[in-house]
Structure 1
Amino acid sequence: MLALLTDPAAWASLVTLTVMEIVLGIDNIVFISVLTGRLPAQQAERARKIGLGLALIFRIILLMLLSFLIGLTAPLFAIGDHPVSWRDVILLGGGLFLIVKATLEIHKGIEGEEEHHSSKVKASFAMMIAQIIAIDLVFSVDSIITAIGMADHLEIMIVAVCIAIAIMYLASGLVSQFIHAHPTTKMLALSFLLLIGVALVADGIGYHIPKGFIYFAMAFSAGVEVVNIMAKSKRAKRVPVEGDH
């Protein structure tokens, strides 16, 4: 362990793996931020802590069970020319869950059901945690399987995951606050979940979509939305001034 502290290759591996874990955790952050947005402020904060804490636990457990995790990629059966593994089944199930969840949330937003029932019905905290656990497991499997091979030492992998989860925790709060302050961005976040869900389903059936394309599309859309928000804010400030004249 002490030898790793003086090994430049180990530090380079740690930095690279940490950055990759943060990037792969973007979808986790979006999901938790959207889901906890339906809870009261105190419960939302608690749900985020529990959700990301579970994400950390799942990732560390999976790292310690590398032989089992690698076994998840072994073919179970084949559909045509595509061998299907447990990893494919997990990604397919998680992708379908995200598509269904995002579609239902978009429907509620468009039909106005969320506003109509918000004063009468509060989201079930236990149900939120159950959903976060389910999707945390999917993202954890995908994240750790992708990370295998980037680092040769389990200690580096665990430290990288811990750093990434800590940064994700800070980012999740900011993302949640931004979505709460700008309700129109919730629809954008839900569309991100749809996109991620489709990518997971595609990966599960053997059609891999490079994550770079997905993250570029998300970053571009988010940038456009930020510009729209800034323009709207400037227009709102100009209206009273023009009205005084």
Structure 2
Amino acid sequence: MTTEIIISLITLIVLEIVLGIDNIIFISILSDKLPVDKRKKARLVGLSLALVTRLILLAGISWIMKLDKTLFVVYDIAISGKGLILIAGGLFLLYKSNKEIFEKTEDSHDEKPFVYKSFGKIIGQILVLDLVFSIDSIITAVGLVDELWVMYVAVIVSISIMLMVAGTISSFITRHPSLKILALCFLMMIGITLIAEGLAFHIPKQYIYFSMAFSFFVNIIQIRKTEK
């Protein structure tokens, strides 16, 4: 246990948590489609599946690294296995985010009562995005550290922290509909980023996180002003 390894471990834990914020938001929004008594269970199962998925992918680390190899080329753009997964995940995220925004705005005036989704269907959707976010997360971890045990510890610690704060984040988003729309816009941006990375166009995530943090800050000021 050297100083370099400790710094790498802490850095990776922080990075995993930051990369996991969009995962928490997605799980929180989907869990709101369930009855109140099942939402906490959905968040717990969703993040537990994220942990299991990451640990399984770490166990097959050699296979994960092969996903970066080019499978075919389209208009001088090299497409890898990772790229195909990111593109599919990005398209799914764009579809779900747009659908959620439409339901919360255009469909809000309908007279029909709100219909809860089935628990299995919600968990299935969470599992799809867990897989996409996990592959991106694991490849990031492999590029940052060499020791496999450091990756395992970072994943377990980061998911544990996410489990502790998921309920608070979910409740906060549920209480403020404007934040839910903002979060869905954030997920749309993440979807576009995933598609771009799948096509070998790298978009620095700090730009996205900064813009969303600024929007969130402005929204919080408006909420506080309204509550006074």
- Interval of TM-score (by shorter of Structure 1 and Structure 2): over 0.9
Is 1:149 the counterpart of 2:143? The answer is yes
Match of 2:126 in 1: 132
Alignment of 1:62-101 (within 5 A): 62-101=57-96
Match of 1:227 in 2: 221
Q: Tell me the alpha carbon deviations over residues 152-208 of structure 1, each in whole angstroms, 9 at most, x when there is no partner.
A: 211111111111101111222111100111122111111111111111111111211
Alignment of 1:38-117 (within 5 A): 38-113=33-108, 116-117=111-112
Match of 1:241 in 2: none
Is 1:19 the counterpart of 2:27? The answer is no
Amino acid at match of 1:58: T
Amino acid at match of 2:26: F
Amino acid at match of 1:170: M
Q: Tell me the alpha carbon deviations over residues 211-236 of structure 1, each in whole angstroms, 9 at most, x when there is no partner.
A: 111111111111111111111111xx
Is 1:201 the counterpart of 2:195? The answer is yes
TM-score (norm 1): 0.89
**Aligned-partner Cα distance in 2 for 1:211–1:167:** 21
Match of 1:189 in 2: 183
Q: Tell me the alpha carbon deviations over residues 104-154 of structure 1, each in whole angstroms, 9 at most, x when there is no partner.
A: 1111111234874444x2111111000000000000000110111322211
**Aligned-partner Cα distance in 1 for 2:168–2:8:** 28
Amino acid at match of 2:130: D
Please give the secondary structure, in 1, of the residue aligned with 2:78. Answer: strand
Asked if the contact 1:108–1:114 (Cα under 8 Å) also holds between the matched residues in 2, the reply is no
**Aligned-partner Cα distance in 2 for 1:105–1:112:** 10
Is 1:177 the counterpart of 2:171? The answer is yes
The 10-residue stretch of structure 1 (86-95 or 34-43) with the greater mean CA deviation from structure 2? 34-43
Q: Which has the larger radius of gyration?
A: 1
Structure 2: give runs of 5+ residues left out of the alignment. Answer: none
**Aligned-partner Cα distance in 2 for 1:24–1:64:** 20
**Aligned-partner Cα distance in 2 for 1:215–1:18:** 17
Give the alignment's Cα RMSD to 1 decimal.
1.4
**Aligned-partner Cα distance in 1 for 2:111–2:156:** 40
Percent of pairs with identical residues: 46
Match of 1:36 in 2: 31
Structure 1: give runs of 5+ residues left out of the alignment. Answer: 235-245
Amino acid at match of 1:156: V
Q: Tell me the alpha carbon deviations over residues 69-127 of structure 1, each in whole angstroms, 9 at most, x when there is no partner.
A: 000111100012111001000000000001011111111111234874444x2111111
Match of 1:215 in 2: 209
Pairs aligned (count): 228
**Aligned-partner Cα distance in 2 for 1:16–1:218:** 22
